[in-house]
Amino acid sequence: MGQSHPALRFSRTLIKGVRRWVTAVAALALTGGLLAISPQASAAGLAQVTGFGTNPGNLSMYTYAPDALPAGAPLVVALHGCTQSASDYYAHSGWPKFADAYGFALVLPQTSSANNANSCFNWFEPGDSGRGQGEALSIKQMVDKAVALYGGDTRRVYITGLSAGGAMTANMLAAYPDVFAGGAIDSGLPARCASGVATAYTCMYSPPDKSPAQWGELVRSAAPAGTTSWPRVAIWQGTADTTVRPANATELRDQWTNVWGIGQTPSRTRSLGGGTTLSAYDDASGRSAVEVYTVSGMGHGLAVDPGSGAEQCGSAGTYYLDTICSSYHTARFWGLGGGDDTGTLPAPTGLTVTGTTDTTVSLSWKAVAGAVSYAVYRGGTQVGSTASASYTDSGLATGTTYSYTAAAVDTSGAAGSASPAVVATTTGFTPTCHTASNYDHTAAGRAHQSGGYAYATGSGQAMGLWNTFTSHTLKQTAPGYYVVDDTGCSG
């Protein structure tokens, strides 16, 4: 999908069957309406991963992991839109900023023109969007690979996508509710809305007005039998979108509120920046299970807000629209940045690690005016509350790296924006040395490769060509953190 063209520029066979549509695409391309993007991911920090499974959907896997990513970190899967690539989404969406700030790894699946003439995920094909099949299974295999590579927390895996990627996100949430704790559907469509090219057009331009129960049943029938736990879902939609009509957001809301067993009347609404209205739908515990973000006047694309502010992200471009940072609000909704009920107090500054032992990490920060207490988060999950501007986290594993943020809590009990993350490693870890070829280091997870070159896991130090002939000694100084030490490494 794109701002000026549909989400289904899919296979050469399908295109031959819709000649009028092809003519329209050609006209748009001639006037600069389409964005030509290289299919190869080359952005700094983005690494291709191979050998992640049987890959029946013929997709490519790219990842980004911040330096010193702690064990048990969350994982976010981000699906690009039509005519885009993994590197394009990495560069524009803003997700790498929050991976760094909140301490999680990114997986960016990539399709190609070999699968689909305009590099769209085939969300409308049952053989590519159902559990255990095609592209859907390839994405699931990428999750398994990334969890193994980074030691991720399988309870905190999330998925998001734009346009065709958003539609595929909805299908993945339906097919794999046991894998994903949450999702975000940006300018996308309800799960299992289409079963072929003809119905896909109907869904995009005039979505069926099914009852919430009918939409919900499409999800329940796609999920494993007996599923009772469902992912939390954010829905992003521009009111001026002419490619994926805004009615899709309403149908998505109906679908996922029904799955959760809650009504379609918002529990609360709130005005955000960029002309955005947030409508939240709470579960029985009072926690928002479904949130709808309606961006007034926005066309087809991903909402971004370029800038250096804590709530800003991304860069504007074709299908990346300067309105509000959707990635920030989505991460907060999932709890990655310290909770979804964001108060008005600013983020604490000066968060510092003041000391470590083999089982504790001590922190301090500058007090925030108006704060009655502070929430402390480890790896995005709250682990403590304190009335002072300091905290000691205890009961930790020896020689392990952890990521921390803190947020000020106001008189209503709402936590404000989280601080930038700091990383601390408990003492007691015994360094180990490993001498091997760059290829074997990569196979063992001590290094990763990008563009034919190898880089040490954690430190990111360059190791030269990725092959079996170039060898180095890597010293592991912390769990998941290696440095090149060819001059007499000792444990």
User: What pLDDT shows up at residue 490?
Assistant: 72
**Does 26 score more than 70 pLDDT?**
no
| Residue 244 and residue 189 in contact, taking contact as beta carbons nearer than 8 Å | yes
User: What pLDDT shows up at residue 491?
Assistant: 63
Question: What is the average per-residue pLDDT within 387-416?
Answer: 87
| Residue 208 and residue 265 in contact, taking contact as beta carbons nearer than 8 Å | no
Q: Give the C-alpha separation, 280 to 457, whole Å.
A: 40
**Does 22 score more than 50 pLDDT?**
no
Residues 6+ apart with CB under 8 A from 148: 445
Question: What is the average per-residue pLDDT within 130-148?
Answer: 97
Distances in Å between the Cα of 317 and the Cα atoms of 37, 88, 90, 235, 295 are 12, 10, 13, 21, 17
User: What pLDDT shows up at residue 342?
Assistant: 52
Of residues 379 and 328, the one with the higher pLDDT is 328
Out of 54-63, 240-249, 310-319, 332-341, least confident range: 332-341
pLDDT band with cut points at 50, 70 and 90 for residue 346? confident
Give me 53's structure tokens: 């499974």
In terms of Cβ atoms closer than 10 Å to its own Cβ (0-12, 13-18, 19+), residue 341 is: middle
| Residue 352 and residue 364 in contact, taking contact as beta carbons nearer than 8 Å | yes
Which residues are registered as beta bridge partners of 267? none
Out of 87-91, 281-285, 390-394, 431-435, least confident range: 281-285
Quickly list DSSP for 46-66: -EEE---S--TT--EEEEE--
Vertex 203 angle, CA 262 and 248, to 5°: 40
**Does 239 score more than 50 pLDDT?**
yes
| Residue 401 and residue 361 in contact, taking contact as beta carbons nearer than 8 Å | no
pLDDT band with cut points at 50, 70 and 90 for residue 1? low
Give me 239's structure tokens: 């009111």
Q: Give the C-alpha separation, 221 to 13, whole Å.
A: 29
Which residues are registered as beta bridge partners of 64? 106
Of residues 241 and 26, the one with the higher pLDDT is 241
Distances in Å between the Cα of 225 and the Cα atoms of 131, 282, 438 are 12, 25, 44
User: What pLDDT shows up at residue 19?
Assistant: 32
pTM of the predicted model as reported, rounded to 2 decimal places: 0.67
User: What pLDDT shows up at residue 343?
Assistant: 62
Closest CA to 266 of 245, 246, 289, 248: 289
Q: Give the C-alpha separation, 374 to 490, whole Å.
A: 42
| Residue 376 and residue 406 in contact, taking contact as beta carbons nearer than 8 Å | yes
pLDDT band with cut points at 50, 70 and 90 for residue 338? low
pLDDT band with cut points at 50, 70 and 90 for residue 74? very high
Of residues 69 and 136, the one with the higher pLDDT is 136
Catalytic one among 87, 163, 364, 417? 163
**Does 484 score more than 50 pLDDT?**
yes
Q: Residues of the chain with pLDDT > 70: what percent? A: 89
Of residues 36 and 190, the one with the higher pLDDT is 190
Question: What is the average per-residue pLDDT within 345-364?
Answer: 94
Domain spans of the chain, in order of start: 12-334, 352-425, 432-484
Closest CA to 441 of 458, 456, 460: 456
Is the CATH number 3.40.50.2300 carried by domain 12-334?
Answer: no
**Does 113 score more than 60 pLDDT?**
yes
**Does 478 score more than 70 pLDDT?**
yes
422-425: strand order across its sheet: 381-386, 373-378, 401-409, 422-425
Question: What is the average per-residue pLDDT within 192-205?
Answer: 92
**Does 161 score more than 60 pLDDT?**
yes
Total residue count of the chain as it appears in this document: 491
pLDDT, one tens digit per residue, over 361-377 is 999 999 999 999 998 98
Beta strand spans in 20-156 (E): 47-49, 60-64, 75-79, 105-110
Hey, is 198 helix, strand or coil?
Answer: helix
User: What pLDDT shows up at residue 257?
Assistant: 98
User: What pLDDT shows up at residue 399?
Assistant: 85
CA-based R_g, the chain, Å: 23
Question: What is the average per-residue pLDDT within 55-82?
Answer: 94
Q: Give the C-alpha separation, 336 to 381, whole Å.
A: 7
Tell the residue number behind the tokens 């695409």, with chain if given: 25
CATH topology of domain 352-425: Immunoglobulin-like (2.60.40)
Give me 465's structure tokens: 């060509």
pLDDT band with cut points at 50, 70 and 90 for residue 444? very high
Mean pLDDT, the chain, rounded, equals: 87
Question: What is the average per-residue pLDDT within 101-112?
Answer: 95
User: What pLDDT shows up at residue 13?
Assistant: 33
Give me 131's structure tokens: 């559990």
Quickly list DSSP for 249-301: HHHHHHHHHHHHT--SS-SEEEE-STTEEEEEEE-TTS-EEEEEEEETT--SS
**Does 2 score more than 80 pLDDT?**
no
Q: Residue 205: in which H helix or E strand, if any?
A: helix 197-205
pLDDT band with cut points at 50, 70 and 90 for residue 380? low
Which residues are registered as beta bridge partners of 423? 403
Active-site residue flag, 163: yes
Distances in Å between the Cα of 1 and the Cα atoms of 122, 272, 315, 322, 378 are 11, 26, 19, 18, 37
